[in-house]
Structure formats: C-alpha cells, structure tokens
A and B are shown apart, each in its own frame.
Chain A
Amino acid sequence: MDTAKKRKRSVYTASMVLLFILFGAFAVFPIVTLIIASFKPAQELMRFGLNLKIDPAIFSLKNYSYLFTGESLYLTWYWNSLLITAVFTVLCLLLSSMVGYGLAVYQFRLRNLIFVLVLVMMMIPIEIIMLPLYKLSISLKLINNIWGIILPFAVAPLPIFFFRQYASGLPRDFLDAGRVDGCTEFGMFFRIMMPLMAPAFSSMAILQALFSWNNFLWPLIVLRTNEQLTIPIGLSTLLTPYGNNFDMLISGAVLAILPILAVFLFFQKYFIEGMTAGGVKG
C-alpha cells in the first residue's frame, strides 16, 4: 500500500475514533454528573444545577448515609426491588422456557396457532390493556402485592420466542436416547435440554431482570403503600408539586444503577445477545 493511501486511512480511523469519543461522552456524561451531584448537598444543586465541578470542600457522603437511616424507606424499596426481580426472573424463565421448548420440539395440533398468539402478544403494547388488567387485579386481590406485579407478565412472549428459536436448533438425538432410557418428557426437559439451553437462559435472565428492575408503569399502578414500593416508584414519589427531595433522589438513583452496571461489566456478551434477541433471530 502506498503511503498516501495509508495516511488517508489513518486520518479516517482517527476521525472515526473522535466521533465515537464524542458519542461516548454524550452517553456517559449524564451519569457522571449524577454521580458527582450525589456527593453535593441539595441546596448546591438547586442553586447551580447539574455540573461537573468537583469541590472537595462541599463533598460529603451525607446523601448516602441518609438513605441508610431509619428515616428513609430506601432500604425497604431496595429489598422489594431485589425480591421482585429475583422471583420474577426465575418464574419467567422457567415458564417461558417450558413453553418455548414445547413449541419447538413437539408436533401437535394448534401448535402454529399458539405460536401466532405469542407473536400477537408481542405486537400489542401492554398499555392498551392496562385498565382492564388493573380491574382484574383488583378482583384477584393482587393490588399492592408483589404477585400483582409478577404474575401478569411471568409468561412473556419475547422469551418464549427466543427459547423456541434456541430449542429448534438443538439436536433431537438426545431426546430419543432419553426415551429409550425411560426418562419422562419432563425429565428430559429438566435434565437434558435445560442444561443445553444454558446460554439462552443467561441472555434472557439478564434481559428480564433488567426489565423488572427498571419496570415503572405497571408497579406504579399496582403498588399503593410506601412500604411496598420498588426503587423506581419510590424515587418518583420524591418529586412532588410541593417540593422535591433531590438529595435522596440522586443518591438513591446512583445506588439503583450500580447492580446493573456491575452485572453488565461482567456479562456483556449475554446482555448483547439478550437485547438483540427479538431482531436478529426473527
């Protein structure tokens, strides 16, 4: 390659890198300002707004220590969020993987119709059925109850779709071998196929846990008392027409991102597979 061409190429790469640094800064900037603000007293924030100024004189952990005192319900919200996310994710993966597997492996009547119903469910925004679902939850006594948040969405169309695609690609020989050895159909699912579907489980676990951790609208409708709230709903109650409790809101928001950020850093691969599940395989 001649030098002119080489130089042209490196100029191109350098400008690309610069472009992505700019977009990367745009992506990270709000979170960085949030973290910086979480160490400052709220009055400072009200007066000067969000900024990048780092002033050790006014920095303190006071906003954080407030979260852990008895005056705030933050720890209760955190526990609620953890519990709901854990139960929801486990239940959703178990049920959705069963359904997806059933649709992929067996030939039976109405199989295609059921799969079409899964797709229909994927196509309709849940906001449309929110009010009837709310009414139903009242009659099922699911209001202000963690099951009210979990049950209506525990069998989710996207994971079913994903597990179905994944299970279709698995070798069937294991199944025949299992049947010869006297394994039940369910035994084969739990002992043979589930381990084979482990990568699909990781991707979907992350996707569903992220959804549940950040879920807003439905918990906002279902949850009533302060002690039952999850982090997003709890934080949103700090903004009121009569004044905003920013010191608690901001430190609380930072602590809410931390677990996801940690999981993301360690399991990026599964994150990315989970996020793109709907598009690529479809």
Chain B
Amino acid sequence: MENASPATADRTAGINGRRKLTRILYSQKIAPWLFVLPFLISFALFFAYPVISAVNMSFQQVLPGQVQYIGTDNYEKLWNPIFWKAIVNSSKYTFYTVLILIPLPLVLAVFLNSKTMVLKNFFRSTLFIPALTSVVVAGTVFRLAFGELEGSLMNTIVVSLGFDPQRWLRSEALGMFALVLLACWRWIGVNLLYFMAGLQNIPKELYESADIDGANTWNKFSRITLPLLKPISIYVFTISIYGGYSMFTESYMLWSGNRSPNDIGLTIVGYLYRNGLEQNNLGLGSAVGIVLLLITIAVTIVQLKLFGMFRKEE
C-alpha cells in the first residue's frame, strides 16, 4: 500500500477531481455564479472595458504604435460647425420621430383595440411588415422613391398635386422629411404593438364602471386610457430618443455612404464613424461617443423629471 503505483495515484487524483466536480455541480452556492458567468465575462470584456476605454481614448491622440494624452484637445476640436450640424440634425430627427411615432401609433392602437373593429390581427400584422425589412432594404426603396427624376415616385405624387418636381435628397428640409418618413414607415407597426400590449393590460371593469357613470368616449380615453398607458408611453419615448440620437444607417443608405451634400444627412454617429473609422482618429471619435452618451443621459434625466418618475419613489 505504501508504494502505490503511479497509476493508482492518478486514479485517486481522478476520483478526487471528479468528486470536486460533482460537488460543484450539486452546489447551490456555486451554481448561480456559473450561470451568470457568461454575463460577467461579456460585461467586463465587451462593455465595461470599452466604456472605460472610450473615456480614456477621448483624452488621447491615438496613432498606430503611439498614444499620447492631449488633455481636452479632442473636445475642443468638437467645437466646430460640422459637429454642431450633426447634433442639430440628430436632434431634429429625434424630435420629429417622437412627435409622430408616439401619438399616432397610440391613437391607432386605441382604434384597433375598439370592440367594433374588424380584421384586427390582419391590420396589426400588415402595419408590422416594414419592421421586418433591414434598413438597407428600406433605404434602397426610399432612395429610389425620393429620386430627382421627374418619374420618381415622390415627384409623380407632388406633380399630380400641382407642385414642381423636387430634388429631394439635396435639400435640407426635404432630406429630413425623407429620413423621418422612412423612420415612420418602419416603426409605426412596432410602436402600435407596444401600445396594444399596454391596452390589453387595462382592466375592462374600469370602462364598464365609467359607462355606468355615463362617461363619454373622450372622457374614457383621457381619464382611463391615457393615464394607464403612461408606463408603456415612457418606455416607447425612451427607446425613440435613444434610437433617434444613435441613428446612422438610415442616413448612410439614403445618401450612399456617409457623404450627403453639405452634410444635410450627417448625424452624431455619422460624425463618429467619419472621424473614428474613415479618418482613423480614434481619440476624436471617442470624444464624439462620450458627447452622445452625455446627451442621452441628460435627455433621460429631463424626461424622467417631466414624467415625475423621481417623485413616485419618495
């Protein structure tokens, strides 16, 4: 027994190892950590590290093989008319999409949800179809529809209404119109789904008792439906703002690449892409990213204040 052969020693180690493994597999203390391990790794590597790195790089000049801290130079460089234009464009786009893509789908959802409505599922699905297309496909169609030729779809429409044909994607206002229309086309169906899901959560009894009290349709809408849709509206509002400020692909597709005339389609992320990737200035690009982060955080705080989310906590 004293001089056990290496083989037995190996086997004992093997058994010990297996026992250890079994203990791990059965342990209710260790198991949860194994379950969340993929998240911890992914969060550290692909999220926390890049966020810290973005902050860090925004104070650096990043050249191949040579990195140098340059203080706030990158941020000072951002104080230029082109970046300002990108901010204005993104803000306008966000403003218009929020202005349309919240009230309109909300009202449509209420209509579609009404008792007398027919073909509910059919309409819901039809309005949802644009969300299935990629921005690349959608952008291609809209680009062609907003062509400069007299025969293009939009020009046919405006001419038949008695206006002159337009050079849509060369004008600042009409270019923005094309972007917003593209966004509306893709997102009405999705937001409609959100609001319909919200409507389904409103107890029917509320409407029944309102009926007994003699409330009219408008009263029911403004006193029951709207207040109870508040949580879902805040959610849709939030994702619309985030989506609006981080919009890039739509503009990239409408103006084939990041090059719109006079930068009428330039967005914040477009500016980030141009500086960080096309011109390989990672420091400046990162600074743009941090500005975008600050904008989204600021808008979120303002919005939470407006909707009184903080008050509720007290």
Q: Measuring CB to CB, which residues of chain A are less than 8 angstroms from any residue of chain B?
A: 9, 12-13, 16-17, 19-20, 23-24, 26-28, 30-31, 33-34, 37, 45-51, 95, 98-99, 101-103, 105-106, 108, 111, 114, 117-118, 121, 123-136, 151-155, 160, 184-187, 189, 210, 213-214, 216-217, 221, 231-232, 235-236, 239-241, 244, 246, 249-250, 253, 256-257, 260-261, 264, 268, 271-272, 275-276, 278-280, 282
Contacts and interface: CB of A to CB of B under 8 A. Distances in A.
Contacts of B127: 20, 23-24, 27
Contacts of B300: 123
B141 interface: yes
B84 interface: no
Contacts of B25: 184-187
B116 A280 contact: no
A134 B289 CA distance: 13
A246 B143 CA distance: 11
B137 A132 contact: no
- Chain A CB within 10 Å — which of B51, B136, B193, B277 has the most? B136
Contacts of A155: 38-39, 41-43, 46
A271 B180 CA distance: 25
A257 B132 contact: yes
A27 B130 contact: yes
Interface of B: 22, 25-29, 31-36, 38-43, 45-47, 49-51, 53-54, 57, 108, 111-112, 114, 116-119, 121, 123-138, 140-145, 147, 149, 151-153, 155-156, 185, 188-190, 193-194, 197-198, 201, 232, 235-236, 239, 242, 245-246, 248-249, 252-253, 256-257, 259, 269, 272, 276-277, 282, 285-286, 289-290, 292-293, 296, 300
Contact of A276 (B41, B53, B145, B197): B197
13 contacts: A13-B116, A16-B117, A20-B112, A49-B144, A50-B153, A95-B38, A125-B242, A125-B296, A129-B47, A186-B25, A260-B132, A275-B131, A276-B194
Contact of A108 (B29, B112, B292): B29
A34 B153 CA distance: 12
Contact of A236 (B27, B136, B145, B277): B136
A159 B277 CA distance: 30
Contacts, number: 289
Contact of A51 (B119, B153, B252): B153
Given A217-B249, A260-B132, A13 B117 contact: yes
A102 B141 contact: no
B125 to A, nearest CB: 6
Contacts of A154: 38, 42
Contact of A214 (B28, B112, B119, B134): B134
Nearest to A101: B35
B253 A236 contact: yes
Contacts of A27: 126-130, 185, 188-189
A185 B28 contact: yes
B51 A124 contact: yes
A140 B201 CA distance: 47
Nearest to B145: A50
Contact of B132 (A30, A49, A210): A210
B103 to A, nearest CB: 14
B118 A34 contact: no
A99 B134 CA distance: 29
> Which 4 pairs, one residue from A and one from B, show the smallest C-beta to C-beta distance?
A102-B35, A214-B134, A106-B32, A49-B152
A16 B111 contact: yes
A20 to B, nearest CB: 4
Nearest to A118: B39
- Chain B CB within 10 Å — which of A30, A118, A217, A241 has the most? A30
Contact of B248 (A13, A127, A185): A127
Contacts of B296: 124-125
A79 B141 CA distance: 24
B49 A23 contact: no
A130 B131 CA distance: 24
Contacts of B42: 95, 152, 154-155
Contacts of A114: 36, 39-40
Contacts of A250: 140
Nearest to A25: B126
Contacts of B236: 279
A135 B32 contact: no
A253 B123 contact: no
B313 to A, nearest CB: 15
A134 B253 CA distance: 22
B35 A33 contact: no
A48 B156 CA distance: 10
Contacts of B50: 129, 132-133, 136
Given A27-B129, A102-B33, A135-B282, 16 more contacts: A13-B118, A30-B142, A31-B133, A49-B155, A99-B39, A114-B39, A121-B43, A136-B46, A152-B46, A184-B26, A216-B134, A217-B269, A231-B136, A268-B125, A280-B194, A282-B235
